[in-house]
Amino acid sequence: MSLEVKTNVAPSKTKVMTMKRLKRREKIEGWLFVLPFVISAAVFFIGPLLVAFMLSFKEYSYLDMVSMFEAPWVGLSNYINAFQDSTFLRALLNTSLYSLGVVPIQLFIALVLALIVDLNIKGKTFFRVAYYIPTVTSTVAVSVMFLFIFKTDGILNKILSFFNLPPYNWFGDTRLALPTIMMMAIWSSVGLYMVIFLAGLQDIPMSLYEAARIDGASKIQEVLYITVPLLKPTIFFNLVVSLIGTFQVFDQAFVVSNGTGGPLDSTMTVVLYLYKTGFRDFQMGYASAIAFILFAIIFILTLIQRKFFGEETEF
Amino acid sequence: MKKLIALFTAAVMAVGLFAGSTFKPAKVNAATKKVIRLGVWASSPAESELLDNQIKEFERLYPNIKIQKLVITGDYNQVMQVKIASRTEPDVFYLDVYQAPAYIAKKVIAPLDSYLDKNDVKDFEPSLLKGFTSGGKIYGLPKDYNTLVLFYNKDMFKEAGITKAPTTWKELEEAAKKLTKNGVKGLSLSIDAARFIPFMFQSGAKINDGDKPVFNTPQAAKGLDFYVSLLKKGYAATPKELGVGWNGDALAQKKVAMVIEGGWMIPFMKDAAPNVNYGIARLPKGDKEGDLVFTVAYAMSARTKNKVEAAEVIKFLTGRQALSMTAESGLAIPSRISMGGVYTAKYPERKPLVDMVKYSQVYQFGIKSSKILDALNKACEKLYYKKVKDAKTALDQAIKEVK
């Protein structure tokens, strides 16, 4: 403020100066406010990301006496090896199957549940909470619980035997292990997507439904022609989040197979394989390359989805 | 979100401050007292108490050295790798024999020969020491070990009219057949290389020759075939089929009459099934005796600044005095030949565990250990799920995977 007194320029010019000063101050303040985030993002996210990218072109293990910056470069061979590695390809297939199974079923169930708890029914708060609880439960705890349900003398086989059906060795059978994990994933995360759908549903103006009702639309028509189209951004969001989540599946496969991905690689997922190569086989460079292949896949899939679901919706 | 991040940053800074302040006293001590950091994994309260007592005894005898115990929780191998990469690994740490080849090849741990008394080293069980030896140099001193033996339910044996534990493959199969009735299986066998490799040894096979895998021999196939045949004939079942987590549960819940496990079964059975009357017997033999032995050593970081003091710590913790404490506690089998006698004198029923060590090879198969074990597990799974016609084919496919 003292500057204003000292200068003898025209008042209008002074005003411009202070405006500039204010703008600059605002900028600095703005940066100060976001600084903690910028620093933590740089240290814990961008930095590791760049290092991992570098490692994917190197041969490196944590046990090496040289630092990761001095480790030898191997060019693209980590990436080339990955596509010739039958276990990795199997892991990729398993993960894709898992994703293909889990994402649509999970989102469909979540949408139906959201529509139900959005109605004015008795005890809707109870149902909202009940469906959400699995989401806040640790996946490891969920996996252990499912181990109890699916074990050979577990509840599920007891129910099957009640209907005179033969018991199955759910986690021990090469064809059943992956679907079993899929069921587990759907059950445990459906609540999360339900809550997001619910938020989307409540964003849709009532007036549209009222207008539709005046035009004589049925309940099903209301859902198909108003709810679903207007819910498109939410569906897109859920689709992306759910797809990313399923491609990164690790905990369930780890617990169910004791970290081996067995029986016969039937529960080997990309992230589980990445963990195994990095920490068990001491091939951090190769593991980083796998991580970036996974990143590329998720990125491309997200772009494709954006093409189909991404347009802005206006009310 | 931003608030959260800000809070997180604040928390990180606060932790940093605390860490800074706690480091100070250690530095003050360092002038007069050398501090050796000892990395161990989390174990049962009884085992930590044993180690604490050993440390206390050491500090009494070596007043100028202080041991700072670092208990690593979570995945020990993973945490150690991160610590080594960031050059903050402890001076002395536990090293599983399975990990030893990688640690030695990468020169992460220092050879100990120049600090050791050659005559004293002869007191260690030679098969254990071999697991930590490379190029004639010793890289770790084993602290204890466990062999695989046969645990059997004595009551079930009596009821089936079997008077003694089986000593050969033939007797094992016959006993398992007799004991399989009323929903109980004779034997619980997991599809796990750490359990079926002894059978391959017993039929005269070798798994590796140095770093080269050589397990696709007719002998190896014979051992694997016998193991899987017990499952296929229905005299044995896998823990998964039995609906239990591991072999130990199967014996504790009286779902089987026999399991092949190590000394860790003893405290487990005491807790989980004190009413099961079980016995311990040597592993039945095939064409010859054979077994696996699991062991852990104290190793020294190649980067430690206090090599002499670190070596003193290792020598004491694997010395006669410390290991006699181990023997007395009964928590683990001491790695010294002279202390094996102390252990069996106090716990005569556990003698088979000590007897088996002379027929055993350590659970370690060269630098490719983890690949070899993955391939062997897959071979066993393939045979079990009938994806291949015989064990030899499965092993031939497996050896290709390793190469």
Give mean pLDDT in consecutive 10-residue pieces for chain B, a chain of 403 residues: 48 44 44 82 86 90 89 88 88 91 89 87 88 89 91 90 88 89 88 91 88 87 90 88 86 91 88 89 89 92 88 89 86 87 87 88 87 88 85 86 80
Q: Is residue B215 part of a domain?
A: yes
CA-closest candidate to residue B300, choices B27, B30, B53, B36: B36
User: Is residue A83 domain-shared with residue A219, that is, in the same domain?
Assistant: yes
Residue A281 sits at the chain B interface (C-beta within 8 Å):
yes
Q: Is residue A267 part of a domain?
A: yes
DSSP letter (8 states) at residue B75: -
Report the distance separating Cα B385 and Cα A262, nearest Å: 12
* Residue-range definition of the domain harbouring residue B343: 32-146+294-361
- Chain B positions in Cβ-Cβ contact with residue A282 (cut-off 8 Å): 81, 102, 106
For chain A, what is the domain count? 2
User: Is residue A132 domain-shared with residue A47, that is, in the same domain?
Assistant: no
Cβ separation A34–B77 shorter than 8 A: no
Residue A171 sits at the chain B interface (C-beta within 8 Å):
yes
pLDDT for A263 equals 80
Report the distance separating Cα A191 and Cα A196, nearest Å: 9
User: Is residue A151 domain-shared with residue A210, that is, in the same domain?
Assistant: yes
- Chain A positions in Cβ-Cβ contact with residue B104 (cut-off 8 Å): none
When CB atoms are compared, the residue of B75, B84, B370 closest to A62 is B84
User: Is residue B60 domain-shared with residue B104, that is, in the same domain?
Assistant: yes
User: Which residue of chain B has the CA closest to A174?
Assistant: B385
For chain B, what is the domain count? 2
User: Is residue B301 domain-shared with residue B274, that is, in the same domain?
Assistant: no
DSSP letter (8 states) at residue A46: I
Q: How many CB pairs under 8 A join A and B?
A: 78
What is the token pair recorded at B16? 């940093």
pLDDT for B91 equals 92
As a whole number of angstroms, the longest Cα–Cα distance in chain A is 99
Cβ separation A63–B302 shorter than 8 A: no
pLDDT digits (tens, 9 = 90+) for A183-213: 888 888 888 898 899 888 888 888 888 888 8
At B95, which helix (H) or strand (E)? strand B92-96
DSSP-derived 3-state class of residue B68: strand
pLDDT for B95 equals 92
User: Is residue B323 domain-shared with residue B240, that is, in the same domain?
Assistant: no
Q: Could you count the other beta carbons within 10 Å of the beta carbon of residue A107?
A: 20
User: Is residue B281 domain-shared with residue B385, that is, in the same domain?
Assistant: yes
Q: Is residue A69 part of a domain?
A: no
Q: Is residue B319 part of a domain?
A: yes
User: Is residue B287 domain-shared with residue B219, that is, in the same domain?
Assistant: yes
Residue A262 sits at the chain B interface (C-beta within 8 Å):
yes
Q: What is the pLDDT along chain A (315 residues), one digit of tens a residue?
A: 444 445 555 556 666 677 888 888 888 999 999 999 999 999 999 999 998 899 888 888 888 777 778 888 888 888 888 888 888 998 999 999 999 999 999 999 999 888 888 877 787 788 888 888 888 888 778 877 887 888 777 788 888 888 877 777 777 777 888 888 888 888 888 888 988 998 888 888 888 888 888 888 888 888 888 888 888 888 888 888 898 889 888 888 887 777 777 788 888 999 999 998 888 888 888 999 999 999 999 899 888 888 877 665 555
User: Is residue B165 domain-shared with residue B141, that is, in the same domain?
Assistant: no
pLDDT digits (tens, 9 = 90+) for A77-120: 888 888 888 889 989 999 999 999 999 999 999 998 888 888 77
User: Is residue A175 domain-shared with residue A262, that is, in the same domain?
Assistant: yes
Q: Residue B236 sits in a domain of what CATH number?
A: 3.40.190.10
User: Is residue B131 domain-shared with residue B92, that is, in the same domain?
Assistant: yes
User: Is residue A156 domain-shared with residue A296, that is, in the same domain?
Assistant: yes
User: Is residue A41 domain-shared with residue A169, that is, in the same domain?
Assistant: no
Cβ separation A265–B378 shorter than 8 A: yes
User: Is residue A84 domain-shared with residue A151, that is, in the same domain?
Assistant: yes
User: Is residue A115 domain-shared with residue A236, that is, in the same domain?
Assistant: yes
Q: Could you count the other beta carbons within 10 Å of the beta carbon of residue B291?
A: 26
User: Is residue B175 domain-shared with residue B96, that is, in the same domain?
Assistant: no
pLDDT for B21 equals 42
Interface of A with B in 192-251 (CB under 8 A): none
User: Is residue A36 domain-shared with residue A96, that is, in the same domain?
Assistant: no
Q: Which residues of B93-105 are buried (b: 16+ CB within 10 A; e: fewer)?
A: bbbbbbbbbbbbe
Residue B59 sits at the chain A interface (C-beta within 8 Å):
no
Q: Which residues of B62-84 are buried (b: 16+ CB within 10 A; e: fewer)?
A: beebbbeeeebeeebbebbbebb
User: Is residue A7 domain-shared with residue A155, that is, in the same domain?
Assistant: no
User: Is residue B161 domain-shared with residue B216, that is, in the same domain?
Assistant: yes
* Residue-range definition of the domain harbouring residue A279: 77-309
- In Å, how far is B341's CA from the nearest CA of chain A? 36
User: Is residue A84 domain-shared with residue A223, that is, in the same domain?
Assistant: yes
Cβ separation A281–B370 shorter than 8 A: yes
Q: Could you count the other beta carbons within 10 Å of the beta carbon of residue B252?
A: 23
User: Is residue A160 domain-shared with residue A25, that is, in the same domain?
Assistant: no
pLDDT for A310 equals 62
User: Is residue B258 domain-shared with residue B395, that is, in the same domain?
Assistant: yes
